[in-house]
Structure 1
Amino acid sequence: MTRMSTRILLSATLGVLIGGTALAGQAPGPASAPDVPVSHRDRFYTSDQFSNTVSVIDPADNKLLGVIKLGDTTPMNLSPLYKGQLLVHGMGFSPDHKTLLAVSIGSNSVTFIDTTTNAVRKTAYVGRSPHEAFFTPDGKAVWVSVRGEDYIAVLDAESGKETGRITVPNGPGMTIFSPDGRYGYVCSSFSPETVVIDVKTHEIAGRVKQESPFCPDIAATPDGAQVWFTLKDVGKVQVFEAKPPFKPLKTLETGPITNHVNIVRNKAGQFAYVTIGGENTVKVFRTDDYSQVAAIPTGALPHGLWPSGDGSRVYVGLENADKAAVIDTATNKLIAEIPIGQGPQGVAYVPEAVPEGAGTANLQPLGPAGKTSMLTLSNKDGKAATQVTLFDQGVLQTLQAAVTGLAPKKPFVLALSKDKTGAGTVEPLAGFMTNPAGAAIVNAVGPIRQVTQGASEDSRRFLVIVEGKPGELGQPVQRQSE
């Protein structure tokens, strides 16, 4: 018997001795799997979109061990000869916990990483703008949601080569599998429809109407009964039956910039944890009666989240804070924050990722990626509405604004103004359209910190949001708080 098998058996036996039965397994595995207590052999990973790194955390002491560098920051990654990965975004891992997947949107790639050595084993290139990837439960294949097109790319898990494609509604956002491996659930980011695919035949076995076309994330409950998915543009979560006829069960109003959902099982029951970026909270819902039991304040723009192997904690990537937040699921309180790379998106908690050794080979220090600045924009009444982060890339910064509190489905412009109220001439940075919840994620690149914070009084500029489009600007609606 291997060391890992012995440890899992002891964990299950301990659960029987203490509580009468072992606690149920955690997502993405089945409820029949034993829990794996947090240890130094576990790892929590984040895909860091603006630093193009993967942050590696030891959850036993909530410490950043270092980062796996997959690419360069701006402007080094703008060269036509650039070969690194760009916009590291999605995550997945193998059933044996030996391989981590990192999906890079800008370079159309899936990187296979050894969890013990942190070394890149291989990189597969797929279609336009892949978003997420996950191993099938048997570990033989990887399904990649090619969000810029209309299919799932099926890769051989050993070679990384594409072996087939499954046509789905345009813009597949993410795939997750039923715990028994029978079905793959694929939500869409561009079409108002989630499909259920038979894993053996690759045929569509069911369809579920989405209440909006923008689903970025989907999760299946370990008990095999439900599937939950988020609708980022309208601030909702939908739930449907995981088995035929895949009947819709519930739609929950969750809040603006509803990002990801994941499932936790503990002694109190089974719960869905949902990140709400526009409110900087993680909301917790029971899966039996859908009641909300907690709203946990976090740092700026919570995005991906994943439970520990025993469900005692939930780890959350804070996209605009460059941190990972740790939640105790017994109390639903924030217990730690850990500095990580820039703009964490997808995340993964992998129990027993490093069964032997320190697991720190091939890691690099966080370095300049840990430097960020934060600003706030307020409505005319002075109420804070938009949080802005400047991710330091050297001379330049990548700006990301989590905009809320505006009229829905209207055009606006993020701009620089000499006047702190936004009056007079403004210099547009980025035009955008709000979603049905009156929110948006807005990006820009430039020496923005220098002109908004460190400039002289005469040359200083203030961030503002004005109505209209570039070239057709209206009145200011939000301004930088001092």
Structure 2
Amino acid sequence: MKADLSLACISTAIRGHLCDDLEGTAQQACEMLIRARFRVLPEVQSKESTMSFRNTVAALIIVAASATLTQGCSPENAPTQPQTSRASGVVFTADEQGNSISVIDLQTSKVETTPIPISPHNAQTSRDGRSLFAVGSSGGGHDMSGPGRLLGFNAAVVSSGPVFRVEVGRAPAHVIVDPQGTRAFVTNGGDNTVSVIDLAQRQTMKSIAVGKSPHGLRMSPDGGTIYVANTADGTVSVLNVQDLTEVARVPVGKAPVQVAFTPDGRYNYVSLRNENSVAVVDTASRRVIAKVPVGPGPIQLFALPNGREVYVANQGTEAAPGNTVSVIDTTSRKVVANIVTGAGAHGVAVSNSGDRVFVSNIFANTATIIDPVSRKVVDNVPVGRGPGGITFAAGKD
């Protein structure tokens, strides 16, 4: 097999010779320097400041090229490049202060913002990505003066307006949809209930009493239970999906806002806004087994499909906005990275494949797109005012 002596391959070999004896941050800095110098090497022949480095590199090329001729430069040994291709699919943000839904086409980066007849606090797509659901109050924010509404949209043409409307309880916060797309579940913060909506009949079929000021909710991966974060009483309600009853109420900590299951369903992570931490609930024993300190005012959170990490949006306060997402390693149950987003990081969603994480920034009026492999921000996209909820739908072939 003929050896490939490309600059990329040789630079990899040089990085090995120079940097392998170093550790941790020093090794990363060494490798970054080599990469940066190699990118400008063909252009620096007239720059005296780089001559000593070029002489060193010239000597190392002889060693590296010799090793490369012997071993070859296979694709497996080539340097790994960060992901730069655009993700496919669509992201939706619930723009609570703007009374709108913003639609981001990930392929084109185009954004379409559509006014709607409520102040949407949260939005959620159906599993097949064909429908979009938004909940909110007509009075703006968490209005307690009257019933809230659930709106249903054709996800492909949100700009055409809602295809149906259903009245729910006061101050609706979040909505989820079962895998079959037959029922929606809405938390009503003003009534301490969860509304169950029959989507075929487009009407409420039951109201389930839960804890005080229910907010975020998610269904377990097996579809058997729903966990509901009760912000005002520090608990999580456990609902039986078949019987539509509350079967347990788990104390978790101060001001739980949202919940997130690991893909295997063994654990549920709960954001605790007033503790700046995340509680880990063992779903078998229904007990908190750990708490993980994160950034200020954590709101929404989401586990990656591989189950290895949970992304937590740290909103902070309007006076002192947070602007990060904390990345929790689910094995060590420690934060392994904090990624800068925009002011007021609030909502979190993840693409089906796990190749992108999406964060709504409620004070910056943007959505941040993150590559979870490199843990780098790919883009910050302007959306409507006050984006809270955020959700993803895969693109159609």
- The CA distance in 2 between the partners of 1:311 and 1:60, in whole Å, is 16
The one-letter code sitting in structure 2 at the alignment partner of 1:326 is I
The runs of at least 4 aligned residues of structure 1 exceeding 2 Å deviation read 37-40, 203-207
Deviations 1:367-389 (A, max 9, x none): xxxxxxxxxxxxxxxxxxxxxxx
* Partner residue, 2:270: 229
* Partner residue, 1:135: 177
* Partner residue, 1:381: none
What's the Cα RMSD here?
2.0
Q: Which of 275, 278, 281 in structure 2 is aligned with 1:240? A: 281
* Partner residue, 1:277: 315
The answer on whether the counterparts of 2:197 and 2:206 sit within 8 Å (CA) in structure 1 is: yes
TM-score by structure 1 length? 0.60
Shift of 1:332: 0.6
- The CA distance in 1 between the partners of 2:309 and 2:222, in whole Å, is 20
Q: Superposed, which structure 2 residues align to 1:409-420 within 5 Å?
A: none
* Partner residue, 1:51: 98
Gap runs ≥5 in structure 1: 1-17, 20-36, 71-83, 357-482
Residue 100 (structure 1) aligned with residue 132 (structure 2):
yes
The answer on whether the counterparts of 2:313 and 2:326 sit within 8 Å (CA) in structure 1 is: yes
Structure 1 residues 249 and 342: CA distance shift in structure 2, 3 A: same
- The CA distance in 2 between the partners of 1:210 and 1:302, in whole Å, is 22
* Partner residue, 2:343: 300
Q: Which of 336, 343, 355 in structure 2 is aligned with 1:312? A: 355
- The CA distance in 1 between the partners of 2:99 and 2:333, in whole Å, is 37
The one-letter code sitting in structure 1 at the alignment partner of 2:129 is H
The one-letter code sitting in structure 2 at the alignment partner of 1:52 is N
Gap runs ≥5 in structure 2: 1-74, 77-84, 140-147, 317-321
Q: Superposed, which structure 2 residues align to 1:20-419 within 5 Å?
A: 40=88, 42-61=89-108, 63-70=109-116, 84-85=117-118, 87-107=119-139, 108-118=148-158, 119=160, 120-212=162-254, 214-242=255-283, 244-266=284-306, 270-278=308-316, 279-352=322-395, 355=396
The answer on whether the counterparts of 1:137 and 1:180 sit within 8 Å (CA) in structure 2 is: no
Return the index of the structure with the highest Cα Rg. 2
The answer on whether the counterparts of 1:55 and 1:64 sit within 8 Å (CA) in structure 2 is: no
- The CA distance in 1 between the partners of 2:243 and 2:329, in whole Å, is 33
Task: Classify the secondary structure of the residue corresponding to 1:207.
Answer: strand
TM-score by structure 2 length? 0.72
* Partner residue, 2:69: none
Q: Which has more helix, going by share of residues?
A: 2
Task: Classify the secondary structure of the residue corresponding to 1:311.
Answer: coil
Task: Classify the secondary structure of the residue corresponding to 1:95.
Answer: coil
The one-letter code sitting in structure 1 at the alignment partner of 2:94 is S
* Partner residue, 2:18: none
The answer on whether the counterparts of 1:135 and 1:157 sit within 8 Å (CA) in structure 2 is: no
Task: Classify the secondary structure of the residue corresponding to 1:325.
Answer: strand
The one-letter code sitting in structure 1 at the alignment partner of 2:136 is S
- The CA distance in 2 between the partners of 1:95 and 1:308, in whole Å, is 12
Q: How high is the sequence identity, in percent, across the aligned residues?
A: 26
Task: Classify the secondary structure of the residue corresponding to 1:116.
Answer: helix
- The CA distance in 1 between the partners of 2:107 and 2:309, in whole Å, is 23
Task: Classify the secondary structure of the residue corresponding to 1:265.
Answer: coil
Deviations 1:83-106 (A, max 9, x none): x32x22111221222111111134
Task: Classify the secondary structure of the residue corresponding to 2:191.
Answer: coil
- The CA distance in 1 between the partners of 2:380 and 2:178, in whole Å, is 32
Deviations 1:50-103 (A, max 9, x none): 111111001224x13311210xxxxxxxxxxxxx32x22111221222111111
The answer on whether the counterparts of 1:141 and 1:157 sit within 8 Å (CA) in structure 2 is: yes
- The CA distance in 2 between the partners of 1:116 and 1:246, in whole Å, is 39
The answer on whether the counterparts of 2:209 and 2:246 sit within 8 Å (CA) in structure 1 is: no
Deviations 1:4-40 (A, max 9, x none): xxxxxxxxxxxxxx99xxxxxxxxxxxxxxxxx9754
Paired residues in the alignment total: 300
